[in-house]
Amino acid sequence: MNTSSTARIFPIYDPKNPPEHPGEEWTRFVCISDTHSHTHYNVPPGDVLLHAGDLSSWGSYPQLAKTVNWLRTLPHPVKVVVAGNHDLCLDEEVELYKSSVVTAAKDMMRNEAALQAGIHYLEYDSAEVTVQNGRTWHFYGSPAAPKYASGSFQYRDIKQGDKIYNRIPSSTEILLTHTPPYGIHDLCKKGTHVGCRSLASHLQSDQLANCRLHVFGHIHEAFGVSIDTLPGGLERVSVNAAIRRSDFPIIVDLRN
C-alpha cells in the first residue's frame, strides 16, 4: 500500500479480503484496462470502476458484447469506460465493419441497459457523475493512442495528438486515456518509452492542473501505479491498469 493525506493506493492485496473502504470522506476507484474479452478477473467492490480500453480482443461486436455483459454484472454503482485500439467495432473511421454494426456497438455502450448498470461510455467526452457519498467527480475519457499498427482510434503525430488533448476540460479530475503519457508507465518489452509526448505535455500544463487520477493501459508490461506531487501541491495518481492474469485490479482511494 502507498498512502498520503489525499490518496491510498493498493496494487497488491488479498482478492478474497480486499482492503476496507476508508469511509464517506473518500471515494474508491477500481482500475482495470486491456481485458480483451476475458471476464475471469476477481474485481473488488468500490464506488467507481474505471476501464481504460481494449474491451475486446479483436474488435468484433460479439467480443465487445461479452465484456459489456460482464461489466453490467459488476457491483460498482458507477462504471466509466473508454475504448482502445482493439475495439474496432466502435470506430466508424476504421471502415472494417458496416455502419450498422458500429451504430449497434455504440448503442450497446450507451443504451438503457448500460445506463441502468451505471456504465458511462466516454469517447472524447466529459461527464460529471455523483457517487453514493454525494461527491461529484469530473471525468474525461479518450480512446486514442499513437499509431503503431492497424487498429482503432489512432493518430499519427504530435499535431493530431494536440488536437485530441486540447479538448480536455480544465475541470477534469479523473482522466481516462487508452495510451499512457510518455515516460509514465510506458516502458515496453524492448526497453523504450512508447507513451504519447503530446499527452505528457498536456498533463504538465495548467490545463490539467486539477487532474488527480489518470488511468490508462495499452502497454501491458508497464502495469503499475505511482503518485506524484504537482507544482501547485496537488497529488496526482497515475495508473497503468493493463491487467494480466496474475495482476489485481488496482484500487485507488481519493479523499473527497
pLDDT score, position 143: 98
pLDDT at position 61, please?
A: 97
The per-residue pLDDT for 188 is 93
Transcribe 9-62 into DSSP letters.
EESS--TTSPPPP--TTEEEEEEEB--TT-----PPP-SEEEE-S--SSS--HH
pLDDT, residue 33, reads 98
Break the chain into its structural domains and give their ranges: 25-255
Length of the chain: 256
Average pLDDT, 10 consecutive residues per value, the chain (256 residues): 88 94 97 96 97 96 98 98 98 90 97 98 98 97 92 95 97 98 96 96 95 97 94 92 90 97
CATH superfamily of 25-255: Metallo-dependent phosphatases (3.60.21.10)
Say what the pLDDT of residue 2 is.
Answer: 79
CA distance 184 to 248: 19
